[in-house]
């Protein structure tokens, strides 16, 4: 079978509403496709790399599923995840699994960090390509396939599809999930294309931080917050600034630099900025993006407790 480049969603800030849209949870994992024929099962990454050795429990799961069913060749599109809840995956844990190369450690991790393949699309069934079928038909066939399986199947789930945007968004917000993907029900699967028929909306958190330094080499601003009466570095932000905002901030830092370490210029805490981010992982912001300056705030207002409160809300 020919390996396909995945169809990708376009990032937007507003959830589209209408009868032509359906909605799925966006899980924070590794995008992958499962290819199964009479000879083998292959896990292929977004960049067309083989992942079989990293996730043997997934290969074994699909081999068991198909050994008594005449369904191959078959192709599933989905996400490899380490699930924390029904609607949230832990990206740092799937990263940890993905970095393992030693076979013994991988076999141990199958039990300590089990991975689940979450299928949200069916691209081929019994050798018949389905990419020329509308999404609602592909989802119908995917649902029929899952309905035929035993209920005790592990490591393999179908991603639920919802018609109510508010309902699924509230689920994701409650559990701290990554976001949702809105899909047009009549859309076709377009390999290798970032499509506007699929739209992703991220469940972003917002908090205020203090600018502590600027890295001239990488063009990142180091930001932090107050924790136990000390400053805690919590991430680097470079996106979201207009050209004028970035140049003004760099100028202020250079004029008020208190220390230089290689390419990093440090300043006393005084400038507060508002940042959106996905979550805090290993005490660092994931996907931070500048929103605006907060001249109305003092550095004492930017605390670790307030950041944690954002995650809990």
Higher local confidence (pLDDT), 228 or 20? 20
Q: Does 3 reside within a domain?
A: no
* Section 260-275 average pLDDT: 95
- Give me the pLDDT at residue 201, please: 96
Residue 44 and residue 181 share a domain: yes
- Give me the pLDDT at residue 16, please: 97
Q: 300: domain range?
A: 205-312
CATH code assigned at 128: 3.30.470.30
Q: Does 142 reside within a domain?
A: yes
- Give me the pLDDT at residue 2, please: 86
> Is the predicted pLDDT of residue 242 greater than 90, yes or no?
yes
> Is the predicted pLDDT of residue 171 greater than 60, yes or no?
yes
How far apart are alpha carbons 130 and 123 in whole angstroms? 5
Contact (CB, 8 A) for 1 and 158: no
Rounded alpha-carbon distances, angstroms, from residue 4 to 83, 158, 165: 26, 20, 29
Residue 248 and residue 147 share a domain: no
- From the CB of residue 149, how many other CB atoms can be counted at a distance below 10 Å? 12
> Is the predicted pLDDT of residue 261 greater than 80, yes or no?
yes
- Give me the pLDDT at residue 137, please: 97
Q: Does 90 reside within a domain?
A: yes
Residue 143 and residue 239 share a domain: no
- Give me the pLDDT at residue 149, please: 83
CATH code assigned at 265: 2.40.50.140
State the average pLDDT for the chain. Answer: 93
- Give me the pLDDT at residue 39, please: 84
Residue 179 and residue 46 share a domain: yes
* Section 285-296 average pLDDT: 93
* Section 207-229 average pLDDT: 94
Residue 298 and residue 150 share a domain: no
pLDDT band at 308 (very low <50, low <70, confident <90, very high): confident
- Give me the pLDDT at residue 187, please: 97
Contact (CB, 8 A) for 124 and 1: yes
Inter-helix orientation angle 103-112/56-66, to 10°: 70
Residue 123 and residue 198 share a domain: yes
pLDDT band at 72 (very low <50, low <70, confident <90, very high): confident
Higher local confidence (pLDDT), 222 or 278? 222
- Give me the pLDDT at residue 313, please: 53
- Give me the pLDDT at residue 312, please: 54
Contact (CB, 8 A) for 225 and 303: yes
Last residue of a domain, one of 186, 202, 218: 202
**What does the buried/exposed string (b/e) look like for 168-204 if buried means 16 or more CB atoms within 10 Å of the residue's CB?**
bbebbeeebbbbbbbbbbebebeeeeebebbbbbbbb
What's this model's pTM, rounded to 2 decimal places? 0.83
Residue 307 and residue 174 share a domain: no
Residue 179 and residue 55 share a domain: yes
Question: How many residues can be counted in the chain?
Answer: 313
Last residue of a domain, one of 202, 217, 241: 202
Could you tell me which residues are beta bridge partners of residue 272? 210
* Section 278-287 average pLDDT: 86
Last residue of a domain, one of 147, 180, 202: 202
> Is the predicted pLDDT of residue 78 greater than 90, yes or no?
yes
pLDDT band at 66 (very low <50, low <70, confident <90, very high): confident
- Give me the pLDDT at residue 311, please: 59
> Is the predicted pLDDT of residue 69 greater than 80, yes or no?
no
* Section 74-97 average pLDDT: 95
- Give me the pLDDT at residue 151, please: 65
Residue 187 and residue 73 share a domain: yes
Residue 147 and residue 22 share a domain: yes
Q: Does 124 reside within a domain?
A: yes
Residue 53 and residue 90 share a domain: yes
Q: Does 2 reside within a domain?
A: no
Q: Does 1 reside within a domain?
A: no
How far apart are alpha carbons 88 and 111 in whole angstroms? 19
Residue 131 and residue 180 share a domain: yes
* Section 198-226 average pLDDT: 95
Higher local confidence (pLDDT), 222 or 64? 222
Could you tell me which residues are beta bridge partners of residue 36? 41, 74
Higher local confidence (pLDDT), 39 or 135? 135
Say how many domains are in the chain. Answer: 2
């Amino acid at each position: 079978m020919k390996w396909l480049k995945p169809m990708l969603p376009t990032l937007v800030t507003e959830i589209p509403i209408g009868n032509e849209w359906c909605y799925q949870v966006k899980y924070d994992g590794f995008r992958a496709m499962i290819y199964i024929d009479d000879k083998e099962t292959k896990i292929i990454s977004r960049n067309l790399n083989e992942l079989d050795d990293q996730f043997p429990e997934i290969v074994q799961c699909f081999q068991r599923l198909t050994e008594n069913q005449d369904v191959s060749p078959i192709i599933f599109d989905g996400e490899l995840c380490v699930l924390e809840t029904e609607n949230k995956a832990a990206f740092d844990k799937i990263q940890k699994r993905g970095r393992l190369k030693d076979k013994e450690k991988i076999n141990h991790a199958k039990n300590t960090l089990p991975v689940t393949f979450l299928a949200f699309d069916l691209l081929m069934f019994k050798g018949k390509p389905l990419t020329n079928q509308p999404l609602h038909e592909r989802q119908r066939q995917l649902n029929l396939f899952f309905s035929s399986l035993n209920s005790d199947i592990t490591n393999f789930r179908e991603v639920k599809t919802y018609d109510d945007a508010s309902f699924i968004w509230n689920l994701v917000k409650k559990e701290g999930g990554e976001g949702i993907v809105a899909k047009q029900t009549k859309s076709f699967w377009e390999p290798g294309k970032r499509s506007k028929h699929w739209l992703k909306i991220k469940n972003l958190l917002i908090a205020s931080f203090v600018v502590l330094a600027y890295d001239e080499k990488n063009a990142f601003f180091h930001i932090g917050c107050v924790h136990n009466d000390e400053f805690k570095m919590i991430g680097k932000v470079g996106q979201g600034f207009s050209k004028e905002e970035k140049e003004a901030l760099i100028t202020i830092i250079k004029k008020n630099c208190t220390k230089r370490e290689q390419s990093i210029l440090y300043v006393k805490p005084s400038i507060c900025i508002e940042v959106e981010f996905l979550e805090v992982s290993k005490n660092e912001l994931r996907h931070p993006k500048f929103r605006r300056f907060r001249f109305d705030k003092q550095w004492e207002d930017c605390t670790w407790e307030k950041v944690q409160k954002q995650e809990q809300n």
